[in-house]
Amino acid sequence: MAVGLNPPEDLLPVAGIKLGVHAAQMRYRNRPDLVLIELAENSSTAVVFTRNRFAAAPVIVARQNWQRAKTRALLINAGQANAGTGSIGLDVAEQCCETVAQELGCATEAVLPFSTGVIGSAPPLDIIRMAIPVCASKGREDAWLDAAHGIMTTDTVAKGASVTVDIDGSPVTITGIAKGSGMIRPNMATMLAFVGTDAGIDQQLLQQSLQSAVEHSFNRITVDGDTSTNDACVLMATGRSEATAIVDKDSDAWRVWYEGLMQVLLKLAHAVIRDGEGATKFVSIAVEQGNSEKDCLEVAFTIAHSPLVKTALFASDANWGRILAAVGRAPIDELDVSKVSIYINDVCVLDNGDTAADYSEARGQQAMAPEEINLRIVLHAGDATATVWTTDLSHEYIRINAEYRS
């Protein structure tokens, strides 16, 4: 059960983006599993892809197509990842693009395919070909929530977020959906995320904005330290708002819009963690006063990936020595342990390298009990800071992944 997370009740439509959703029953029964997103002409698209060198076939094809043509459509299937499928998987991804292009009357290179699900399995081409026209016929601007359900795998709730910002007196909408629950240390984005805006933005600036926003949202979350073969995040800008087009990163218009984008991406990233497989805790790890942001991130991720820390979090066990040990083995060049302080929520457990004078087991246990826990590590080495979000490690996580293909 997701930690403090409810599915979105409503997601704002984005002018110029239509979403069609269909239950093609490629793997799942009685639920949507295919999504077609159609973009208005002259839309701009920014994309970041997984850094996993075993990139799935749709990632390979999407990366190539995005570089060759202006994107007009995205096709997403849930159930089969189409990764580790060699030339057959590439052929399936390419033929899916051809079918969408024929249906919408656009170039094949203008279609980006995405898949999520079991590695080693490609989606059935005959079924997907028949389902694409159905998806196209169902396209609506207000179908974001339906699409959020259509891209789920082990997610327990759909994930979406919307904001409206004011630019020069005109409203601009930003809406996004994401899926992800396990195999999460994105190293670029969550397993799949799709965000749309009706702002008009130069493509190069859009790409720079997405890369920066991803670095400070999706790249700061981890469930289990595993980077998927299929990760991708797409940002689409249709230019259908009445607001003046954004062309300058130093402008007030860009700053207002970017703040809205960060709100959406952070909400989606946090939702992935709150719905982490088997999660019972939502954990924020803030590392402060580091020598560099890189050092702060190394310390935070070392803590977040420690099975001993994560199981202590699950048990609400104030075994803070596990946190201390993780800090000590973080791969940073310099660490003065006599200056390190550790806090669990508001309770100081380690003060400048020594057990805090007022610490007690009872206070530590009380600090570890809530569903939401803030771990704060103060290095006293500089001015840098960074925050990472993660989960605990429960019996349910093991069950879900042990039974994933059954």
Q: What is the CATH number of the domain that holds 344?
A: 3.10.20.340
Final residue before a domain boundary, out of 274, 291, 317? 274
Q: How many domains is the chain partitioned into structurally?
A: 2
Q: Is the predicted pLDDT of residue 220 greater than 80, yes or no?
A: yes
pTM: 0.96
* pLDDT range class, residue 1, cuts 50, 70, 90: low
The first and second tokens of residue 142, run together, are: 């207000």
Q: Does 39 map to a domain?
A: yes
pLDDT value of residue 404: 80
- pLDDT tens digits along 339-374: 999 999 999 999 999 999 999 999 999 999 999 999
Q: Are residues 226 and 304 part of one domain?
A: no
Place of tokens 């929520």: 345
Assess if residue 7 is contained within a domain.
no
If asked whether residues 181 and 330 sit together in one domain, one would say no
**CATH number of the domain bearing residue 124:** 3.60.70.12
Rounded distance, CA 11 to CA 163, Å?
9
Is the Cβ–Cβ distance between 269 and 353 less than 8 Å? no
| Kind and range of the H or E run holding 388 | strand 384-391
What band does 406 get if pLDDT is binned at 50, 70 and 90? low
Q: Which of 190, 222, 302, 390 is catalytic?
A: 190
**Final residue belonging to a domain, choices 243, 274, 305:** 274
- For this structure, is 116 an active site residue? no
- Residues 253, 348 share a domain: no
Q: Which of 251, 274, 297 is the last residue of a domain?
A: 274
Residue 189 banded pLDDT, cuts 50, 70, 90: confident
CA distance 142 to 398: 37
User: What are the angstrom distances between the C-alpha of 112 and each of 58, 59, 316, 374?
Assistant: 8, 9, 44, 39
Do 208 and 354 have their domain in common? no
Say yes or no: 178 and 296 in one domain: no
Residues 316 and 260 in one domain: no
DSSP assignment of 113-162: EEEEEETT-PPPHHHHHHHHHHHHHT-BTT-HHHHHHHT-SS-SS-EEEE
Q: Do residues 256 and 393 both lie within one domain? A: no
Q: Is there a single domain that holds both residue 296 and residue 268?
A: no
Whether residues 343 and 203 fall in one domain: no
Q: Does 214 lie in the same domain as 124?
A: yes
Query: Whose structure tokens read 């891209």?
Result: 151
* C-alpha atoms less than 13 angstroms from C-alpha of 201 in its C-beta half-sphere: 29
List the strands of the sheet with 341-344, edge to edge: 221-222, 384-391, 282-290, 372-378, 341-344, 347-351, 354-355
Is 217 among the domain residues?
yes
Tell me 201's DSSP state: B
Which residue segment(s) compose the domain that 391 sits in? 282-402
**pLDDT at position 188:** 85
Residue 276, SS3 per DSSP: coil
**For 299-317, what is each residue's pLDDT tens digit?**
999 999 999 999 999 999 9
Rounded to whole angstroms, the Cα distance separating 364 from 344 reads 7
The answer to whether residue 6 sits within a structural domain is no
- Same domain membership, residue 232 and residue 295: no
Clarify whether residues 264 and 307 are in a common domain.
no
